[in-house]
Chains A and B, each alone.
Chain A
Amino acid sequence: MTTTAGALADRLRHLLGPDRLLEGDLARNLYSHDGSIVGGDCGIVALPETTDEVAACMRMAHEAGVDVVPRGSGTGLTGGAVPLEGGLVISLARMREMGEVDVANSCMWVQPGVLNLDVSMAIAHLGLHYAPDPSSQQACSIGGNVGTNAGGPHCLAYGVTVQHVLGVEMVRPDGEVVVLGGVAPDPPGYDLRGVVVGAEGTVGIVTRVLLRLTPLPPDVRTMLLDFLSVSDASAVVQAIIAAGVIPAALEMMDRNMTMAVEEFVHAGLPTDAAALLLVEVDGTAAEVNTATEVVERVAREHGVRTVRVAQDEQERALLWKARKTAFGAVARVKPSYYLHDCVVPRTRLVEVMEAIGEITEREGVICLNVFHAGDGNLHPIIALDRSDPDETERAMRAGDQIVRACVAMGGTLSGEHGIGVEKRDYMPLVFDDDDLEAQACVRRAFDPDGRMNPDKVLPTGTRCGEVGLADTQVPEGTWI
């Protein structure tokens, strides 16, 4: 440990006490990972509990010139919370307080370590919920959701995180605390709140979030449609929306995924079907009935085999459990997975699913698909055993080709997981040098020293005003 880092550790220990500053090798090892396969190198870990403590940590890091990586629950899938070259990890996991619900304005301030699902559970008695529902919602934090501009099945109808965050309190890299946005529908000036949401911790650390709360729908119906061909299922997705129904959620799961998850949930999913669609419609009873009829009719026109309508809340919860625990169930196939979350225009879904099938077959890897079909947000999960270098290589190659195929069809890199480290070097596929430079300038305006979550999001060569100068410091440990 260098003298500066050692001095920083002393100051932080004095501030937080030994229990809230982790310095041991094994603890640092655990904080070198998140939910992805990216591995890094963690310096020390601080666990502040208040905005003031975060501000003090940030000031100390600023004075020591040490890099800072913010971390929520560590469920991210792109290495966004993984420190690459030492530095200070600030975990917000102990900042778990929720404020009072502002019923008149349907909003509430919460600390960033509050878990997504805990918000909805805490306000259900008021007939409200927090609409964005990432599949990891039982474990992921609001701070992480803000960082990645997280999505979720119900974002098709309700919109993603940025539409549900009215304001943020943020600690800037030098320790200054600012509040951006607020209860007013359109605060004057630039929408800096919109810059912070999805910035993946590169502009500061969010210490409080003003969440928009949404009324629970009066009625809801969940249907499971099963198909004997992936193409038929893909075609139905576009056809349902073309018929004028925007479901609350419209999810697809292929056969490989269905088989893995059914072993865990025992929801009676048909494991012989090529693809399943999970369709949820909500609204008033009349709206739900009409939408259900349209969905059923369109599905029959496209050769649906069976339509199963959840009969009660218990069955509905079971179907959603199958969907939301799918990623974790991959370990039943292989010990690791590698996935992208590219988005393609819905009209290209049939083509892209065929392309994914061809690519993974060519590379000889097992691919499991479970994704937000309604908004064209794919999640091709490639199952792999990282102790097999050849299989790892093939999985990486397949992932690379899938990204390129999606972009070629007019798609983009990420729907909700963020860019992190894992998709960083694909950024030039969708942005030219000028675009990247403009983004680097925005980042630099917030973080002039480049200490906030460095080497994430923008390719390492991208520096404000000096795009194109190759930076040879490729982070080690990526793809372990």
Chain B
Amino acid sequence: MSTGWKPGIPAPTRDDLNTCVQCGLCLPSCPTFRITGLETSSPRGRIAAMRAVQAGEATVEGDFTRFTDECLACRACEAACPSSVPYGRLIEAARIQTEAARPAHDRVARRAGIAGVMGHRRMVRLMGLGMAITQALRIDRLLPQKLRLATPRVTVRGMRMPLPASSGEGPTAMLLTGCVMDIAFRPVHQATVDALVRGGYRAVVPRGGGCCGALAAHAGELTSARELARKRIAELEQAEVIVVDSAGCSAHMRTYGHLLADDPAWVRRAEAVAAKVRDAVEIDAPPGRPVEGRVAVHDACHHLHAQGIGPEVRRTLRAAGATCVDLGDGGRCCGAGGIYNVLEPGMAGELGEQKARAIIATGAPVVAVANPGCAIQIANHLRALGSDVEVRHPLEIVD
């Protein structure tokens, strides 16, 4: 039987596809299905589409690419699936296919955003500087709205905020400085360092640093993702614990072993690094200050669905005395999805607004958000609705 997959590159496997019995229990957990009501934007539908390509009844180009692009890869469907269909693995493999099939100019546009910029520290900082300047001069208002809603607030001072190279005593915990985190969220890094010191670690912030490759992997840019993984492994493997204060990055780094499984020179090192990864909210540390009142809690998909992290965030906040308030939306994705909000602004905008409204409805003055993509999306949508609810990483709140 001839399949529609492009040869020579990874594709969704028959075994993985066979784990779906099309029962449809995943449908309501899917944010895009909730909005469109379309089978074509549901997990079951996307898996059926993969099966159609597998069976040679459809091609990767055209509608298949469209349906695949629309997926947030939030993996909420995995938690709902009684067969434990490895949906995250399926969609990443499907993306490798759709990226390979994309016309050159389209690929370049995506690559420029993902691998081209995020992969190189200098490029990231240059981009950050560009953002800081346009925002300071308030000429960012001239940008298309879809870009503005996906852009973090950046200041030159924030970008240059010094972080201690080493602080505290105890086992060595190295911090992933990352890409977006490094230009827009250094205060979160500082709060994480403080938490590590309180928790009895020697916190080390490596010089240089850079992207973990998650954005490239989610976009199907496997070569860049692997290259970045190797760089981070070499940089961080000496540590006893690798601490990551971005949910998307900690989830991705935990899959380094899988990512480099076919690379005999690196697979062992990759597995060792993956095993050392701790999300920042998993650090067992006393709070830095008491927190009174209500804190709304947003669960990042890469926490809740990819790593089963959720109680840890609440435990961290409660230990400081805060009252945690859930959003009552079943942990639905905020629509950020890595760079999804740039690529699919319509869908992302609806989800972002829904999320912002759910946060406002809690009446809490601050919302805990442990992922930079979510933080940018949520902050921008809150602002668009005229809300002054603060968006903070849970460790910042207790710092």
CB distance from A451 to the nearest CB of B (A): 23
Of B27, B52, B62, the contact of A29 (CB 8 Å cutoff): B52
Does residue B240 face the partner (Cβ distance < 8 Å to A)? no
CB distance from A327 to the nearest CB of B (A): 6
Cβ–Cβ contact A47 & B37, under 8 A: yes
Per the bound structure, the CA–CA distance linking A118 and B58 in Å amounts to 35
Contacts A73-B24, A335-B18 given: A30-B82 contact, CB under 8 Å?
no
Interface 1/0 per residue, B24-46 and A, CB below 8 Å: 11111000000011111000010
Cβ–Cβ contact A27 & B83, under 8 A: no
Per the bound structure, the CA–CA distance linking A329 and B25 in Å amounts to 11
Cβ–Cβ contact B52 & A331, under 8 A: no
Of B25, B37, B45, the contact of A138 (CB 8 Å cutoff): B25
Cβ–Cβ contact A26 & B80, under 8 A: no
Q: Count B interface residues, CB 8 Å.
A: 32
Cβ–Cβ contact B57 & A29, under 8 A: yes
Per the bound structure, the CA–CA distance linking A177 and B91 in Å amounts to 43
**Those of A142-201 within 8 Å (CB) of chain B:** none
Of A24, A25, A30, the contact of B39 (CB 8 Å cutoff): A30
Cβ–Cβ contact A29 & B23, under 8 A: no
Contacts of B23 in A (CB 8 A): 35, 75, 136, 139, 327-328
Does residue B238 face the partner (Cβ distance < 8 Å to A)? no
Does residue B266 face the partner (Cβ distance < 8 Å to A)? no
Contacts of A94 in B (CB 8 A): 36-37
Contacts of A90 in B (CB 8 A): none
Q: Which residue of B lies closest to A76 (CB)?
A: B24
Contacts of B57 in A (CB 8 A): 29
Does residue B19 face the partner (Cβ distance < 8 Å to A)? yes
Does residue A403 face the partner (Cβ distance < 8 Å to B)? no
Cβ–Cβ contact A336 & B21, under 8 A: yes
Of B18, B24, B58, the contact of A26 (CB 8 Å cutoff): B58
Contacts of A263 in B (CB 8 A): 84
Per the bound structure, the CA–CA distance linking A449 and B39 in Å amounts to 29
Contacts A138-B80, A139-B27, A329-B83 given: A26-B19 contact, CB under 8 Å?
no
Cβ–Cβ contact A332 & B83, under 8 A: yes
Does residue A359 face the partner (Cβ distance < 8 Å to B)? no
Contacts A29-B52, A327-B82 given: A22-B38 contact, CB under 8 Å?
yes
CB distance from A169 to the nearest CB of B (A): 19
Pick from A27, A30, A31, A33 the residue with the most CB of B within 10 Å. A30
Chain B at the A interface: SS class: loop
Cβ–Cβ contact B83 & A328, under 8 A: yes
Q: Count A interface residues, CB 8 Å.
A: 42
Cβ–Cβ contact B82 & A329, under 8 A: yes
Q: Which residue of B lies closest to A322 (CB)?
A: B82
Per the bound structure, the CA–CA distance linking A31 and B44 in Å amounts to 11
Per the bound structure, the CA–CA distance linking A140 and B27 in Å amounts to 9
**Those of A20-44 within 8 Å (CB) of chain B:** 22, 24-27, 29-31, 33-35
Contacts of A35 in B (CB 8 A): 22-24
Of A22, A30, A91, A327, the contact of B21 (CB 8 Å cutoff): A327
CB distance from B75 to the nearest CB of A (A): 16
Does residue A113 face the partner (Cβ distance < 8 Å to B)? yes
Does residue A371 face the partner (Cβ distance < 8 Å to B)? no
CB distance from B365 to the nearest CB of A (A): 25
CB distance from B160 to the nearest CB of A (A): 46
Q: Which residue of A lies closest to B57 (CB)?
A: A29
Cβ–Cβ contact A30 & B49, under 8 A: yes
Cβ–Cβ contact B21 & A331, under 8 A: yes
Per the bound structure, the CA–CA distance linking A335 and B22 in Å amounts to 10
Per the bound structure, the CA–CA distance linking A139 and B27 in Å amounts to 6
Per the bound structure, the CA–CA distance linking A34 and B44 in Å amounts to 10
Per the bound structure, the CA–CA distance linking A47 and B35 in Å amounts to 13
CB distance from B13 to the nearest CB of A (A): 13
Q: Which residue of A lies closest to B34 (CB)?
A: A96
Cβ–Cβ contact B81 & A328, under 8 A: yes
Cβ–Cβ contact B38 & A139, under 8 A: no
Per the bound structure, the CA–CA distance linking A18 and B285 in Å amounts to 54
B residues near A (Cβ < 8 Å) are: 18-28, 36-40, 45, 48-49, 52, 57-58, 62-64, 67, 80-85
Given contacts A30-B48, A31-B39, A331-B21, 14 further A-B contacts (CB under 8 A): A25-B58, A29-B58, A30-B49, A47-B38, A75-B24, A113-B37, A118-B28, A139-B28, A264-B82, A264-B84, A325-B82, A331-B82, A332-B19, A385-B18
10 tightest Cβ-Cβ pairs between the two chains A and B:
A328-B82, A93-B37, A331-B83, A325-B82, A335-B18, A75-B24, A329-B82, A94-B37, A26-B63, A328-B23
A residues near B (Cβ < 8 Å) are: 22, 24-27, 29-31, 33-35, 47, 73-75, 91, 93-94, 96, 113, 115, 117-118, 136, 138-140, 261, 263-264, 325-332, 335-337, 385
Provide a sorted-by-A list of 30 A–B residue pairs whose CB atoms are within 8 angstroms: A22-B40, A25-B58, A25-B63, A27-B40, A29-B48, A29-B58, A30-B39, A30-B40, A30-B49, A31-B39, A34-B24, A74-B39, A75-B25, A75-B27, A91-B38, A93-B38, A118-B28, A138-B28, A139-B26, A139-B27, A139-B28, A261-B82, A264-B83, A328-B83, A331-B18, A331-B21, A331-B85, A332-B19, A332-B83, A336-B21
